[in-house]
């Protein structure tokens, strides 16, 4: 018997459990859907924050239904959730790109959603790349809303990194230093729109800090090849001026979920 047929038959005949809370009835209950869809996007920052962490926004604390849904999608292959989570990520990306900052006047420029890459062996064992898939869904959602956006998987791991779980913030930063790079030819693409780093989850921020470093380096290398124009960066990591540059690549970051404590920062 074909497995797809059996799956379809099972979906019709078997009562489903909500992937968020386990309640019988639907694969995603109204309450969990409302919790994800109704989330208010907020700035988040871990404490301590690693050096070079870009401005990050998130939709939900990593707990309860949000945690369950992200795990179902990432580790248990619930690929149908990519669209739900991608929709949430799209809302975060919208908030990131609308927030004031350098080049904020350029509302109509193209958004490049650069997913944080998974380790190749994790992609193999999971059978999919959850963040890349989520980025594609988020870009599609943004385009449906009239925002020019596309997923730009331009980052890759340049060396093997240890499993992050079990490492503290300092250990994670050391483990990840220099671990990511822009794919060959990616530097030029980074200049074609406004870069938003995307990930499913931020815990210590070490991965996003490394991703931001790699993106900046990739962009700078491409820019140096095309002549001077880059000026000194500000204390917040954003260069103040990009005379001669061809696009607003300034990395900011959007994640679906973040550790509950990272929401508690005082934003005076
Ligand atoms: Zn539920």
Say how many Å lie between the CA of residue 21 and the centre of ligand 1: 4
Q: Is the pLDDT of residue 22 over 80?
A: yes
- Give the integer Cα–Cα distance in Å for 53 and 92: 17
At residue 12, the pLDDT reads: 61
Number of Cβ within 10 Å of residue 238's Cβ equals: 16
Point out which residues pair with 253 in neighbouring strands: 56, 197
Say how many Å lie between the CA of residue 35 and the centre of ligand 1: 9
pLDDT in tens, 89-110: 999 999 998 866 554 444 557 9
Say how many Å lie between the CA of residue 30 and the centre of ligand 1: 7
Distances (CA, A) of 33 to 76, 238, 263: 19, 36, 21
Say how many Å lie between the CA of residue 136 and the centre of ligand 1: 25
The protein residues having their C-beta less than 5 angstroms from ligand 1 (an ion) are 18, 20-21, 29, 32
Say how many Å lie between the CA of residue 40 and the centre of ligand 1: 19
Q: Is the pLDDT of residue 59 over 90?
A: yes
Helix (H, G, I), strand (E, B) or coil at 202: strand
Alpha helix positions (H), the chain: 3-13, 30-37, 64-75, 81-98, 120-126, 130-144, 169-176, 186-190, 206-225
Say how many Å lie between the CA of residue 64 and the centre of ligand 1: 10
Paired tokens of 183: 């794919």
pTM for the predicted model, two decimal places: 0.83
Q: Which residue in 247, 16, 8 sits closest to 109, CA to CA?
A: 247
Say how many Å lie between the CA of residue 84 and the centre of ligand 1: 13
Say how many Å lie between the CA of residue 207 and the centre of ligand 1: 30
Q: Domain residues of the chain, as ranges?
A: 15-229+244-263
The three-point CA angle 82-43-210 to 5° equals 70
Say how many Å lie between the CA of residue 19 and the centre of ligand 1: 6
User: Which residue has 């927030």 as its token pair?
Assistant: 99
Say how many Å lie between the CA of residue 49 and the centre of ligand 1: 32
pLDDT in tens, 236-258: 444 433 433 444 456 899 999 99
At residue 237, the pLDDT reads: 40
Say if residue 48 is preceded by a cis peptide, omega within 30 of 0. yes
Say how many Å lie between the CA of residue 262 and the centre of ligand 1: 24
Helix (H, G, I), strand (E, B) or coil at 29: coil
């Amino acid at each position: 018997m074909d497995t797809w047929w059996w799956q379809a038959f099972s979906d019709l005949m078997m009562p489903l459990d909500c992937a968020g809370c386990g309640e019988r009835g639907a694969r995603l209950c109204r309450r969990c859907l409302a919790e994800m869809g109704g989330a208010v996007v907020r700035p988040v920052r871990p404490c301590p924050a690693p050096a070079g962490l870009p401005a990050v926004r998130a939709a939900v604390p990593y707990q309860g239904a949000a945690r369950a849904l992200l795990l179902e999608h990432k580790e248990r292959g619930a690929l149908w959730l990519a669209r739900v989570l991608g929709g949430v990520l799209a809302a975060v990306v919208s908030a990131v790109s609308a927030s004031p900052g350098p080049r904020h006047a350029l509302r109509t420029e193209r958004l490049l959603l650069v997913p944080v890459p998974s380790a190749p062996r994790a992609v193999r064992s999971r059978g999919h790349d959850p963040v890349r898939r989520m980025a594609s869904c988020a870009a599609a959602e943004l385009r449906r809303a009239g925002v020019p956006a596309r997923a730009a998987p331009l980052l890759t791991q340049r060396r093997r990194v240890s499993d992050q779980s079990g490492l503290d913030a300092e250990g994670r930063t050391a483990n990840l230093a220099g671990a990511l790079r822009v794919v060959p030819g990616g530097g030029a693409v980074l200049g074609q729109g406004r870069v938003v780093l995307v990930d499913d989850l931020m815990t210590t921020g070490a991965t996003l800090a490394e991703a931001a470093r790699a993106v900046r380096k990739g962009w700078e290398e491409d820019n140096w090849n095309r002549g001077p124009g880059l000026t000194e960066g500000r204390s917040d990591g954003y260069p103040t001026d990009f005379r001669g540059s061809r696009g607003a690549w300034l990395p900011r970051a959007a994640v679906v979920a973040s550790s509950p404590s990272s929401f508690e920062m005082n934003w005076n």
